[in-house]
Amino acid sequence: MKRSEELLELDKILSAAAGFAVLEESKAQLLALSPVHSLSAARALLDETEEATRLLFTYGVGRVEYFPPCAEMLERAEKGAVLTCGELLDCARMLRSLRVLHDGIENLSDENCVHFREISCRLVFDRRLEQEIGEKIVSPEAIADSASPRLFEIRREIRLLGERIRARLAQYLSGDEKKFLQDGIVTMRGDRYVIPVKAEYKRSVRGFVHDRSQSGATVFIEPEEVLELNNELKGLTIDEKEEEERILKDLSLRLGRMREHLALSVSLAVEADTFFARAEYGYRVKGIKPALNDKGVVEIEKGRHPLLERERAVPVSVAVGRNYRFLLISGANTGGKTVTLKMCGLFCLMACCGLFVPAAEGTCLTTSEVFADVGDSQSIEENLSTFSSHIVGIKHILEEAGEYSFVLIDEPGGGTDPEEGQALARAILNALQKKGCRGIVTTHYSALKEFAYEAEGFENGSMEFDAEDFRPLYRLKIGAPGSSNALAICTRLGLPAETVEEARSYLSEGARAFERTVRAAEESRVKTEQARFEAESLKREWGEKVKALEAEEAKFRKEKEKFLLSSKAEARRIVSERTARAEEIIEKMEEIFRKEELSEADLIQARTLKNTLKKGTMSEEEAPVRAQLVDPNTLKAGDKVRVGSMGSEGVVLSVNQSKGTAEVGTGSLRVRVKFTDLYMAEDRKEEKDRVTVRRDVASRASFRPEINLIGMTVLEMEPELEKFLDAAVLANCPEVRVVHGMGTGKLRAAVHALLKKHSRVESFRLGKYGEGESGVTIVTLK
């Protein structure tokens, strides 16, 4: 198994995943990771990686904060050792990391993060201890003055006493003793304040000699006057060290008491970190969570080998183990057979390590043991040739593989006589099938390709090859074998044409016939595939057009129904209004005829009402409603007016402002009318009560939904654009194109300003790439 993992380069994947881990223990665990082959265990690992992915990239929480390994420190603290300031700070970082991990998970409302909630519940940390270490230890070498009241008092006394000593020694620097001094400074030797005295004057200064310069010219003397003060300072320094030791010991003991709980919490944090690293790796390679089975079934949708550059790798889809047990992949050299084979095995190992794989949804992998014999394993140390090495590997597979094991063999029977090699390869495949294995085999042997056609449980597959350009396409097609195209590739790689042709002449007739058949089948399949692709494209295109037409038809039906409803409502309104007006006219006529004596004016008015009723129009009677009342202040003789009660026009003969009346001549009559019954006369060139509805089909059919305004001024543009929009509305055109050019942008701004105010414009936008961009505005009409 380890050999298969090495051949499939699982160690490189684990190393890449470990690069995303934060803790050193996590990196080591990932590098030493071994695949699990229990279906339930592998699913649990993938579920935990999925939870970590959701925490990191959906909620933005998780990510264990770094802290150095603390196991050895905690063990010493448990035994009573006093940790240094730096070690305590490292332990505080550990406590903080555990707390942040706990709080981040606990604050989530997602109940699906089951495993990480279990980790969170088991984490042990001490907020107070973490806070105290942070407050009391200010650096890896120093404790804060405020670490304890006693330490604060001791250090305050040390500072005050130091100031007294320096003040006394300063007198030596400025007094009569100044001439004895080498330098005008106060220094320290062995935690005691001293002054530098010239060697020839050392007897002139009474005190204790602590040191001498290397040249011997200076001695460092502690004067008698400060001897007692220095002794007192020494005592305070000892007290300070003892208090610091007490503080460190107290913090260390508290950590030591928690060692077992903290060790468990650290292991949980390391576990969480490994899954966060897996999630980060899966995100970087665009991986998905695959489905799993333990029956040797491998179905990969658009998989990419994770060690290849994503931009250059061609996605490959593979299926094996369900409808057939073994897939035999053939095709051109450098066509991607070995990469595809290794990808399948590597994906299975990655899934068994809890890693997502770079493939599309629908990918299903097996947790069965993976056995591989891939590449040239020639060993000089073991005195093995390439063929011998392959046989040793296959011997191990035949001995160890069992039912549902997933077997990968690259070129079985290679490295020896072709006839013997293909016979051996066939026997190996039969043996593996009898054991119940599943797997993928690559080959160039024609006999094996024929065998896959005939034998039950085997299927051919081929890596596509462009016969015109002599280049591999790195796409796997299942169902037909592929030609090796070795001679074609030799031509592409620059081998002399005469050499290639000579080699082709040496081929047996059977080999040439088989290769021609395979190549013809491959070319036919490629053409069929291309035709199928084009047919599907046309089907999709016409499907979209049909949907668009159906949507347009549905829209038209809705508009038609809306128009019919509004037309019926308008018709009911008109009928109702005309009926009410007719009843009003009849009532007025009845009022006239109820009079005992009828004047000529009454007869004229009755005749007018009759004519109005007979014509079925209200044009004359609606005048009082639509017309404007006369202004009594400006009314004068000779003005044309309309008499509302008579429905006839006339000329004002005289005006009586005091009585609010005017004498009007209408026809052969002279009538006196109140100002409130007089209206301004209107010029009527046609009957306004007649409504004509006409659909201009010809103009609509010839309407062109584009107008070019380039070269016009803003004043010239506005009426042209208004006229164009009105024509578009009449033509029921949903969208039009206004060409205004780029220029200075002034014309475009004026066009947009007009469109914003237009009542029939629903929206507008600048053109996209291919539509004219900013030189064109696309307008959607209501």
DSSP tally for the chain: helices H, then strands E: 23, 25
User: pTM above 0.85?
Assistant: no
> How do residues 582-638 score in pLDDT, each as one tens digit?
888 888 877 777 776 667 677 777 777 777 776 654 444 443 445 688 888 888 888
Which residue, among 352, 385, 454, has the nearest Cα to 1 in the 3D structure?
A: 352
**Cα separations in angstroms, 217 against 182, 199, 529:** 8, 5, 101
Is residue 390 within 8 Å of 377, Cβ to Cβ? yes
Is residue 364 within 8 Å of 290, Cβ to Cβ? yes
Strand partners, 111: none
What 3-state class would DSSP assign to 404? coil
Residue 42: its H or E element: helix 39-57
Is residue 155 within 8 Å of 145, Cβ to Cβ? yes
Categorise residue 43: left if φ over 0, alpha if ψ from -120 to 50, beta otherwise. alpha
Query: Which residues in 330-369 are b (16+ Cβ under 10 Å) and which e?
Result: bbbbbbbbbbbbbbbbbbbbbbbbbbbbbbeeebbbbbbb
Structure tokens at 362: 């629908």
Instruction: Return d(Cα 340, Cα 335) in angstroms, integer.
Output: 10
Structure tokens at 286: 């665009």
Structure tokens at 230: 């220095």
Rg (CA), the chain: 51
Is residue 462 within 8 Å of 477, Cβ to Cβ? yes
Residues of the chain with pLDDT under 50: 377-383, 617-625, 685-701
Strands 438-442 and 406-410, bridge-based pairing: parallel
Query: Which residues in 470-481 are b (16+ Cβ under 10 Å) and which e?
Result: bbbbbbbbbebb
According to the model, what pLDDT value does residue 685 have?
46
Handedness of CA 600, 602, 605, 609 (dihedral sign): negative
**Cα separations in angstroms, 425 against 20, 267, 409, 418, 574:** 42, 49, 10, 10, 95
Residue identified by tokens 């081998």 is 495
Which residue, among 476, 534, 145, has the nearest Cα to 301 in the 3D structure?
A: 476
Is residue 342 within 8 Å of 12, Cβ to Cβ? no
Query: Which residues in 667-691 are b (16+ Cβ under 10 Å) and which e?
Result: eeeebebebebbbebeeeeeeeeee
Tell me how many degrees the CA angle 9-25-33 measures, rounded to the nearest 5.
30
Which residue, among 454, 455, 493, 457, has the nearest Cα to 472 in the 3D structure?
A: 493
Strands 640-643 and 678-680, bridge-based pairing: antiparallel
**Cα separations in angstroms, 407 against 11, 228, 410, 438, 442:** 19, 88, 10, 6, 12
Tell me how many degrees the CA angle 246-249-251 measures, rounded to the nearest 5.
110
What 3-state class would DSSP assign to 262? helix
- Read off the DSSP letter of residue 142: E
Which residue, among 27, 31, 28, 26, has the nearest Cα to 14 in the 3D structure?
A: 31
